[in-house]
Amino acid sequence: MLIQFTNRGIYCPQADVYIDPWKPVSKAIITHAHSDHARIGNSSYLSHTDSESILRYRLGEISLQTLPYNETVVMNGVRISLHPAGHVIGSAQVRLEYQGEVWVISGDYKVKKDGLTIPFEPLKCQHFVTESTFGLPIYNFPESDELKIRLNDWVKENAERGLNSVIIGYALGKAQRILNALETDLPILLHSTIYNTNAALGFDNSRYIKFTQEFKKEQLNPGVVVATGTAVGSPWLKRFEPYRLAFCSGWMQLRGARRRRNADKGFVMSDHADWKGLNEAVEATGAENVYVTHGYKSVFAAWLRERYKINAVEVETLFEGEGVENESPEPEAPQQ
Q: Should residue 319 be labelled a site residue for Zn ion when binding is judged by CB under 5 A?
A: yes
Number of residues that bind Zn ion (CB under 5 A): 4
Q: 86 or 222: whose CB is closer to Zn ion?
A: 86
Q: What b-and-e string marks burial along 9-31, b requiring 16 or more CB atoms within 10 Å of the CB?
A: bbbbebbebbbbbbeebebbbbb
Q: 117 or 192: whose CB is closer to Zn ion?
A: 117
CB of 217 to Zn ion, least distance (A): 35
CB of 107 to Zn ion, least distance (A): 7
Q: Let me know if 101 is exposed, middle or buried by CB neighbors in 10 A (0-12, 13-18, 19+).
A: middle
* Rounded Cα gap, residues 49 and 162, in angstroms: 43
Q: What b-and-e string marks burial along 127-143, b requiring 16 or more CB atoms within 10 Å of the CB?
A: bbbbbbbbbbeebebbe
Q: 129 or 304: whose CB is closer to Zn ion?
A: 129
Residue 165 one-letter amino acid: S
CB of 86 to Zn ion, least distance (A): 11
Q: 189 or 324: whose CB is closer to Zn ion?
A: 324
* Rounded Cα gap, residues 141 and 277, in angstroms: 9
Radius of gyration of the chain (CA): 20
Considering only 5-13, 114-122, 190-198, 312-320, which stretch makes contact with Zn ion by CB under 5 A?
312-320
CB of 105 to Zn ion, least distance (A): 12
DSSP 31-57: S--STTTS-S--SEEEEEGGGHHHHHH
CB of 56 to Zn ion, least distance (A): 18
Considering only 157-165, 186-194, 297-305, 311-319, which stretch makes contact with Zn ion by CB under 5 A?
311-319
Considering only 12-20, 96-104, 105-113, 323-331, which stretch makes contact with Zn ion by CB under 5 A?
105-113
Q: 34 or 177: whose CB is closer to Zn ion?
A: 34
For residues 117 to 156, the per-residue mask of contacts with Zn ion, x marking binding by CB under 5 A and - elsewhere, is ----------------------------------------
Considering only 68-76, 118-126, 146-154, 313-321, which stretch makes contact with Zn ion by CB under 5 A?
313-321
CB of 108 to Zn ion, least distance (A): 4
* Rounded Cα gap, residues 96 and 10, in angstroms: 12
Binding to Zn ion in span 281-310, by CB under 5 A: none
Q: 45 or 319: whose CB is closer to Zn ion?
A: 319
DSSP 20-32: S-SS--SEEE-S-
**Residue 98 host element (H or E):** strand 92-98
CB of 197 to Zn ion, least distance (A): 14
Q: Should residue 20 be labelled a site residue for Zn ion when binding is judged by CB under 5 A?
A: no
Let me know how long the chain is.
336
Four-residue CA torsion sign, 324, 326, 331, 332: positive
Considering only 100-108, 140-148, 237-245, 249-257, which stretch makes contact with Zn ion by CB under 5 A?
100-108
CB of 321 to Zn ion, least distance (A): 7
Cα dist from 220 to 149, 179, 185, 186, 228, whole Å = 22, 16, 11, 8, 18
CB of 169 to Zn ion, least distance (A): 13
Binding to Zn ion in span 28-67, by CB under 5 A: 34, 36
Residue in 52, 108, 114, 330 binding Zn ion, rule: CB under 5 A:
108
* Rounded Cα gap, residues 48 and 84, in angstroms: 9
Residue 261 one-letter amino acid: R
* Rounded Cα gap, residues 276 and 147, in angstroms: 18
* Residues in touch with Zn ion (CB under 5 A): 34, 36, 108, 319
